Amino acid sequence: MIRVDEKNNVFLLNTENTSYGIAIVDGRYIEHLYYGAKLEETDIRYLLREDEAPFTPSVNKRETGAFLDFAPMEYPEAGMGDYRESALSVRSVKGHRASELCYEGYEITPGKPALEGLPATWGEDSECSTLKIFCRDSLLGMKVTLMYSVFEGVDALTRSVLIENEGEEPFYIEKILSACLDMDDRDFEVISLIGSWARERHIQRMPLGYGRQNIASFKGESSHQEHPFLALVTPETTQSTGEVYAMNFVYSGNFIAQAEKSQFDSVRMSMGIHPEGFTWKLEPGERFTAPEVVMVYSAEGLGKMTRTFHDLYREHLIRSPYLHKKRPILINNWEATYFEFDEKKLLEIAKDAAELGIEMLVMDDGWFGKRNLDDSSLGDWYVNEEKIKGGLHELVENVKKLGLKFGIWIEPEMISPESELYRKHPDWAIQIPGRDITQSRAQYVLDFSRKEVVDGVYEMISDVLKSADISYVKWDMNRQLATLGSYALPADRQGELSHRYVLGVYRMQERLITDFPEILLENCSGGGARFDAGMLYYSPQIWCSDDTDAIERLAIQEGTALVYPVSAMGAHVSVCPNHAVGRVTPFETRGDVALLGTFGYELDITKLSDEEKEQVKVQVEKYHRYNDLIREGDYYRLASVSDNGYYDSWMIVEKDKSRALVFYVQVMARANAKSRFVRLAGLDPEKRYIAGGKTYAGSTLMRAGVRIPSEFGDFKSRLIEIMEA
């Protein structure tokens, strides 16, 4: 619900449990009033401190600079006297870098408009409403629309910005963030997700000091190393207590997320496209839309924040017809064979997989062109019939006869120097004329800012998908962008390349899921380098990490599930010793950890022992028994091995609180250790539940806990099913 208090010039955006307040000052400045637990009244202008020095410019114009450097601005611009981090920086054709937005009016509409060319949350008129605040810089002829959409039942709101050139001259956008939040500091701590290849999205928490702390990527993707999520939390914040202010970027390219503590002990939190190397020329009559930021406030700790993000993304972001369905249990041949396979080996894997209840075979890298190593053929999207004798159609039909569906791996954004496509179209690679193109994994990046490139690659891949009954596509992207240059862009538009590239990726993925709606699309980027909300708009699941070791996955999946639904996490059982870290982990533990996700296998099933094959059958049965609950239920984090060093635990609770599943992993065994009591969460305290064959009140299980025996040996897992009596 969006309320407008015309008398006090206040907007109050209410969800079921939160409020977001905006005020108009001096008839021109748009200032932030409040974000937090729900308020019922709009007469809250006292929060602006308008009766304190330096006062507003209408009272004390001689100190406008001091006012701008302190006022809680809703969308701060560069160049006029606010020396904190700006959200917008514009350069005129005369070279001046300053803008001054003045409030002009507002509009409230039911529902939520789409963002042109961009992924974004969506909702019916009955589920959300949108506030548009219009402002203008008359000197530049620049109209700016601040857009706020409120999801009343999900305790979330989204923000975006639309810039239109209504003047007579072009201007250059050199920085455009999508959201800014100004508020008083309360000894905030910063939570972010950091890592590297094969150890993505580890949770980092640290105090917020004076100055600016940011996480960022200008690699052309959201990246393995840092992630487009940021939260400010009060010091007492746990899973169930404390206040949380969180932002998540619905975007898959360069980003910056920043928190800044000022001289006056105020905090500015902001998020948007990274300004490094970014410039966008806006001609008269043109418009630019900034990607969306999702904002969540929780007064009940990180757990409530997590469940809000999960509900929002399941109900208002992911569009796939597979969203509320069991995904087929797949086996991928990559860690089984790497490039060393042919149709006979694939059929051997398929035959053994079918006998154990696995439902899909996925053929990974190496099936196309002359691809026998990772040094050739990207861009040559036709079947290598020397390797797949009889062609793709015959292979797929033979796999189907065994009772399995068939999936395929592609990497559309890349091109190998050693490829027919590069020899024919060398200018299709991103490059700076006269410089060597930076190689990574012996490949270049295609210029997806160009429509003819996207169309040319798509047609080749489309032909492959039409040639056989393909049920699944794994879309990979194995390197970052560098030596940025496009043959198709003029000199004063080269700064648009990174963003135009991402828009090209979105266009192609939208075309793919439109033309092949029955295909299950899974995104991937060298593992988890592009696990972000933007990608979830196109695919219901994303490969979580190339590290499939169950123990390493505990921290990776904990950090990922902090923001994203567990049904989106690609998780597989792999062979031991693990190919990333060499660890040997019990087969049962590998299966239990992979259940928190899409579930599948990444190994050569033909080489498993009879005992391991029997365990596969057990794991398949567990998947079918529990997946509906895991996919649709509420996620609660009970303990983190990253904090305690010994054990990890989480649980999924049915929405109606009738059923739950507790996961427990004893990571490190301890000598002379007693059993451990783990307090559950999310149950109905008044209901009675069966746990371990006995009946308990929900309040007992949450306050006293369930008893977990200490086991001999490391890396032991246990599942505990909780059923309403």
Question: What CATH number corresponds to the domain at position 342?
Answer: 3.20.20.70
* End-of-domain residue from the set 632, 654, 682: 632
DSSP 8-state class, residue 438: P
What does the CA dihedral 337, 338, 340, 344 come to, rounded to 10 degrees?
50
Do 136 and 269 lie in one domain? The reply is yes
Catalytic residue among 364, 546, 592, 648: 546
- Provide the angle, in degrees to the nearest 10, between the axes of the packed helices 550-561 and 587-594: 10
Q: Supply the DSSP string of 371-414, one letter for each residue.
A: -SSTTS-TT--SB-TTTSTTHHHHHHHHHHHTT-EEEEEE-TTE
Residues 144 and 11 both lie in one domain: yes
CB atoms within 10 A of CB 676: 18
Structure tokens belonging to residue 120: 């974004």
Centre a 10 Å sphere on the Cβ of residue 604 and count the other Cβ atoms it contains: 18
Are both 605 and 657 inside the same structural domain? no
Phi-psi map region of 198: left, alpha, beta (phi>0 left; psi -120 to 50 alpha): left
Buried b (16+ CB within 10 A) or exposed e, 289-308: bbbbbbbbbbbbbbbbbbbb
The residue out of 571, 604, 632 marking a domain boundary is 632
Indicate if 599 and 646 belong to the same structural domain: no
Residue 570 lies in a domain: yes
717 domain residue, yes or no: yes
Rounded alpha-carbon distances, angstroms, from residue 357 to 82, 331, 400, 608? 62, 11, 14, 15
Of the candidates 364, 476, 532, 549, the residue annotated as catalytic is 476
In a domain, 308, yes or no: no
- Tally of domains within the chain: 3
423 contacts: CB under 8 Å, gap ≥ 6: none
Q: Judge if 349 and 264 occupy the same domain.
A: no
678 belongs to a structural domain? yes
Instruction: Write down the residue that tokens 């429509």 correspond to.
Output: 451
Q: How far is CA 325 from CA 187, 363, 484, 626, 630, in A?
A: 43, 23, 41, 13, 11
Q: Using CA atoms in the order 217, 218, 220, 224, what is the torsion angle rounded to 10 degrees? A: -30
Q: Which long-range contacts (CB under 8 A, 24 or more apart) does 350-353 make?
A: 350/398, 350/399, 350/402, 350/404, 351/402, 352/605, 352/606, 352/608, 352/613, 353/404, 353/601, 353/605
Three-state SS sequence of 13-42: EECCCEEEEEEEECCCEEEEEEEEECCCCC
CATH number of the domain enclosing 211:
2.70.98.60
Verify that 87 and 225 share a domain, yes or no. yes
**What integer pLDDT is reported at residue 57 of this predicted model?**
86
Q: Give the pTM.
A: 0.97
65 and 153 share one domain: yes
User: Taking a C-beta distance cutoff of 8 angstroms, is the pair 38, 17 a contact?
Assistant: yes
CA distance 428 to 447: 6
In the predicted model, residues of the chain with pLDDT beneath 50 are none
Helix (H, G, I), strand (E, B) or coil at 415: strand
Tell me if 362 sits within 8 A of 409, measured CB to CB.
Answer: yes
Same-domain pairing of 475 and 492 = yes
694 shares a domain with 608: no
What is the CATH number for 692?
A: 2.60.40.1180
What count of other Cβ atoms lies within 10 Å of the Cβ of residue 672? 5
Q: How far is CA 41 from CA 238, 280, 299, in A?
A: 29, 41, 19
234 and 99 assigned to the same domain = yes
Q: Do 271 and 293 touch, CB atoms closer than 8 A? A: yes
Residue in the block written with tokens 């062109």: 369
pLDDT of residue 708: 96
Q: Are residues 675 and 608 in the same domain?
A: no
CB atoms near residue 229 (< 10 Å) = 26
- Please report whether residue 316 resides in a domain: no
Known active-site residue 546: yes
pLDDT in tens, 226-285: 999 999 999 999 999 999 999 999 999 999 999 999 999 999 999 999 999 999 999 999
Query: Does residue 397 lie within any of the structural domains?
Result: yes
What is residue 25's predicted lDDT score, i.e. its pLDDT? 95
CA atoms of 561 and 567, how far apart (whole Å): 9
Domain assignment of residue 439, yes or no: yes
Task: Please give the mean pLDDT across all residues of the chain.
Answer: 97
* 310 belongs to a structural domain: no
Residue at 689: amino acid letter = Y
* Among 632, 650, 684, residue at a domain's last position: 632
Range(s) of the domain holding residue 225: 2-301
Name every residue whose Cβ is closer than 8 Å to that of residue 449 and which is 6 or more positions away in sequence: 486, 488, 489, 496, 497, 500, 501, 503, 504
Residues 527 and 655 reside in one and the same domain: no
Long-range contacts, 122-125 (Cβ 8 Å, 24+): 122/316, 122/317, 122/319, 123/149, 123/151, 123/316
Distance CA 466, CA 64 (A): 64
